[in-house]
């Protein structure tokens, strides 16, 4: 593992992913807009850099885990990024963005002779820390094979959706939309149970051990049942539902439930 990997984005997911790569023996050059977030990795041997391009090795691999399309595009178009990545270099993007944006970024990389590979992940930060992420993958075959050992070091399974950029990102948007719908259903179920005099925790326990024995229900259900007042979804579900709706609109696919979820989630953010 002599190759040094660039790593950009040390948020709630990026930090544990980077930590696991270090633990697996990879050398990392890390960049984060808020430099102090890199401090936990420095003691583990990571090298911190001050510009995105400085994280890159010409012809090497760089991983990015950033918030959205705008943040990712700003990284890619930053001074010297694509030039330093160079011919044969691979940008492994793990961000949740629009499929169309991913396709545009792939074309921009191809113009410089480098590759864009998408690998969005399913899993909360604690799953990332435990190497339990589920990873969707799409891109050219040879670059995918080159990055596969990195993905296997951070997750429990990789699902390959072919060569077409945007395919893996689409699956990520579908999964996030279904997860958001499931969480909204559990909020309403636990609310009904409580106001009807039933113990919402018992209701959720029964349902998530039988009819709905899936990780999304089991991981969120008890939290919602035990303390719905403190449960907060933050801005991510609204962002991802919007991406789902926009992507569906581009192919004229109907999404009435997504429109309803957008309406329900909008006050949470505002």
Residues annotated as catalytic (active site), given as ranges: 172
Token reading at 167: 């395919």
Rounded-to-integer distance, Cα 193 and Cα 198, Å: 5
CA gap 50, 151 in Å, rounded: 25
Task: Output phi, psi for 170, to 5 deg.
Answer: -60, -45
Beta strands in the chain (DSSP E): 4-8, 27-31, 47-48, 61-64, 90-93, 115-118, 121-122, 133-137, 155-160
Cβ atoms of 16 and 74 closer than 8 Å: no
* Distance of alpha carbon 116 from alpha carbon 93, whole angstroms: 7
Q: Which residues pair with 135 in a beta bridge?
A: 121, 158
Token pair for 180: 């958001």
Structure token digits, residue 25: 């023996």
Query: How far is Cα 245 from Cα 258, in angstroms, rounded to an integer?
Result: 6
3 state DSSP class of 170: helix
The Cα–Cα gap between 94 and 92 comes to 6
Residue 200 to residue 2: CA distance in whole angstroms: 53
């Amino acid at each position: 593992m002599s190759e040094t990997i660039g790593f950009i984005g040390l948020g709630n997911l990026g930090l544990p992913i980077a930590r696991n790569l270090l633990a697996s023996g990879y050398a990392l050059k890390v960049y984060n807009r808020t430099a102090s977030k890199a401090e936990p990795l420095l003691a583990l041997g990571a090298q911190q850099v001050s510009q995105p391009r400085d994280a890159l090795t010409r012809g090497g691999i760089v991983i990015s885990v950033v918030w959205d399309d705008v943040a990712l595009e700003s990284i890619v178009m930053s001074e010297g990024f694509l030039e330093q990545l160079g011919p044969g270099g691979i940008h492994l993007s793990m961000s949740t963005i629009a499929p169309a944006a991913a396709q545009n970024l792939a074309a921009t990389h191809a113009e410089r002779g480098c590759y864009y590979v998408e690998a969005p992940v399913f899993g909360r930060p604690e799953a990332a820390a435990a190497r339990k992420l589920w990873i969707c993958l799409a891109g050219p075959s040879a670059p995918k094979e080159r990055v596969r050992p990195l993905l296997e070091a951070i997750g429990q399974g990789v699902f390959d959706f072919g060569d077409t950029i945007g395919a893996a990102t689409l699956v990520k948007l579908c999964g996030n939309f279904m997860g958001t719908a499931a969480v909204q259903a559990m909020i309403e179920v636990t609310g009904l149970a409580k106001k009807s005099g039933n113990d919402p925790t018992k209701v959720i326990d029964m349902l998530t051990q039988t009819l709905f024995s899936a990780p999304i229900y089991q991981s969120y259900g008890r939290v919602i049942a035990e303390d719905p007042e403190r449960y907060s979804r933050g801005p991510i579900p609204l962002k991802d539902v919007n991406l789902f709706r926009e992507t569906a609109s581009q192919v004229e696919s109907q999404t009435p439930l997504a429109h309803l979820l957008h309406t329900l989630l909008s006050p949470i953010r505002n």
